[in-house]
């Protein structure tokens, strides 16, 4: 449930539920999420006998942007299993993914984003560099059909 206040919340206290009800532990721990959003398209229309020399804007379809999620490689295959279900045509593979922003002391959920009928459309691991010291990362891109906010 959204919690209004004068000072904006910080972005680094968030929980992710990949549709399995779990927001705890390393499998649900992501370093970064980006691209949550939606847009409503409009169509422009004007009849030839309109009295105004302007077009009407007619509300069209809404579409959701793809979400990119990044986490360190932890040796878990939960994302791969979900992706495998999707690519094998499992009709039950779509999930509701929930992202919850917490307040600074992690005692309250201040806003929630629900990504309805989400599915993985891209998974990337790496890069790997034998001379580097960075954390090995995996990235997934989710497509979803509807965004709801609470």
pLDDT tens, residue by residue, 40-87? 999 999 999 999 999 999 999 999 999 999 999 999 898 999 999 999
27 vs 40, more confident: 40
Query: In the prediction, which pLDDT does 22 show?
Result: 87
| 3-class secondary-structure state, position 137 | strand
CA distance 13 to 138: 20
37: tokens are 């959003």
Identify the CA nearest to 97 among candidates 129, 75, 61, 64: 64
Q: Is the full-model pTM beyond 0.85?
A: yes
Which of 28, 62, 43 lies closest to 146, judged by CA?
Answer: 62
Q: Are 38 and 148 in contact (CB under 8 A)?
A: no
């Amino acid at each position: 449930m959204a919690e209004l206040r004068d000072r904006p919340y910080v972005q680094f206290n968030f929980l992710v539920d990949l549709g399995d009800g779990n927001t705890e532990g390393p499998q649900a721990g992501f370093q970064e999420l980006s691209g949550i959003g939606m847009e409503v398209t409009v169509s422009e229309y004007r009849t030839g006998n309109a009295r105004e020399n302007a077009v009407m804007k007619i509300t069209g379809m809404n579409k959701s942007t793809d979400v990119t999620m990044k986490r360190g490689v932890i040796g878990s295959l939960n994302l791969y299993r979900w992706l495998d279900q999707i690519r094998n045509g499992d009709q039950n593979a779509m999930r509701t993914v929930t992202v919850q922003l917490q307040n600074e002391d992690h005692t309250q959920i201040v806003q929630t984003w629900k990504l309805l009928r989400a599915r993985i459309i891209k998974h990337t691991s790496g890069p790997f560099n034998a001379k580097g010291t960075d954390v090995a990362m995996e990235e997934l891109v989710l497509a979803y059909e509807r965004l709801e906010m609470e």
